[in-house]
Amino acid sequence: MMGPDTIPLSKREMSEQAEHFIVSALREGQLCAGGPYTERACRYLCEWIKAHEVFLTTSGTAALEMAAILLHIQDGDEVILPSFTFPSTANAFMLRGAKVVLSDICPQSLCLNIQMVESLLTPRTRIVVPVHYGGMSCDMESLSRLAHGVGFHIVEDCAHALGGQLGGKPLGSFGALAAFSFHQTKALSCGEGGALAINDSKLIRRSEIIFEKGTNRRPYLRGEVCSYNWQDIGSSFGLSELLAALLASQLPHFEQQIEKRGRLWRSYFERLDPWAGKHAVRLPHTPEGCVPAYETFWLLMPDRKHRDSLLSHLKQHGISAAFHYIALHLSPMGQTLDYQPDDLPVSKHVTETIIRLPFYASMSEAELERVTRAVTSYRW
């Protein structure tokens, strides 16, 4: 339990507009998916991502699961994704029978290593899933060229990436599909929620059916058919209108939130860079042409001993810091896929050495100073 003076890892604040939207949704009486706040949020997201269509889902996990159904994933299909990611990235495709093939990550960006992806391709490769870790961009230009030449689909895992760009294009606009998360820990959050962006217009019609439990309800609501019925496999993916209202209340101000997070991110970097250089600690690297989404700020310590020791040091100073994923190939489930710990050395090293510092838009100058002072006071 955190003490009253503890600086949290992340923090959410509810605006008056959020309360107004939620009360309005309650009074209007439509609490299921598909109401006016859902439509409003989807319009904003379509504009942000430059997508043909956006579906609000119950989670980022659900968005990935919908993508797996939409792309007809079957037993024996292969899906390549980074080992350094959350289990949902793998589970969504394994649930459809896919063989998950894990790739290592780049030591600079902590995103998918495209050169290794190229070596992992087989005739059964159907999908490659780049994960834009911490809001930094994967090398989407190289991956897109590879996809065009070989013929696999790209499904972007944008759980950290809303608002990020590469070469002037929004992250989430490069693949046929892109999954987003609005979990409690994310910069844009409604507690639990997600979205699937459709960038390939040929997928829109079937995506409507899968989203609506396998029925043609959406064409029915548009007056295109006189009744709706079971057309295909699908599930109940829609986000509650109450959570959509909470999401819609934040979207008009999300650009300002990114700007605040960007200033905080740069302040962290400037204050910690001299200390990091002196002690062989790595700070986040911004790939060329990338405008980050500023989802997290992390440190890579020289080894696990110093990572664990610094986490303990920060806890003693009332600061909530954490490491992130256990690389999938190191987990009990991942080891059933016949990987050895050293097969993906960068993912293993990052698992053992990463620290995430407190990071939220409302973080004060005093809180920032307290965190950086605690970090730099760590005794080696």
What pLDDT shows up at residue 2? Answer: 57
22-31: long-range contacts at Cβ-Cβ below 8 A with a sequence spacing of 24 or more? 22/242, 22/245, 22/246, 22/249, 24/245, 25/241, 25/242, 25/244, 25/245, 26/242, 30/241, 31/240, 31/241, 31/242
Give the domain ranges of the chain: 16-252, 254-376
Cα of 39 vs its chain's centroid, Å? 22
Q: Is the dihedral of CA 178, 184, 186, 188 positive or negative?
A: positive
- The three-class DSSP label of residue 139 is coil
Q: Within 13 Å, how many C-alpha atoms sit on residue 147's CB side?
A: 21
Quote the DSSP letter at residue 105: B
What pLDDT shows up at residue 14? Answer: 78
CATH number, domain 16-252, options 3.10.450.230, 3.30.420.40, 3.40.30.10, 3.40.640.10: 3.40.640.10
What pLDDT shows up at residue 17? Answer: 87
| Alpha carbon separation from 121 to 87, 158, 349 (Å, rounded) | 21, 22, 24
Residues comprising the chain, all counted: 380
- Residues in the chain predicted with pLDDT less than 70, given as ranges, are 1-4
Could you identify the residue written with the tokens 């400037």? 270
- Within this chain, domains 16-252 and 254-376 share the same CATH topology: no
Quote the DSSP letter at residue 227: S
Residue of 273, 236, 268, 264 whose CA lies nearest to 362: 264
d(CA 269, CA 282): 10
What pLDDT shows up at residue 28? Answer: 85
Residue of 178, 86, 170, 173 whose CA lies nearest to 128: 178
DSSP H stretches of helix in 212-344 = 217-221, 241-250, 254-279, 304-316, 332-335
| Alpha carbon separation from 375 to 279, 300, 306, 312 (Å, rounded) | 12, 13, 12, 11
Other beta carbons within 10 angstroms of residue 45's beta carbon come to: 24
* pTM tops 0.85, yes or no: yes
CATH, domain range 254-376: 3.90.1150.10
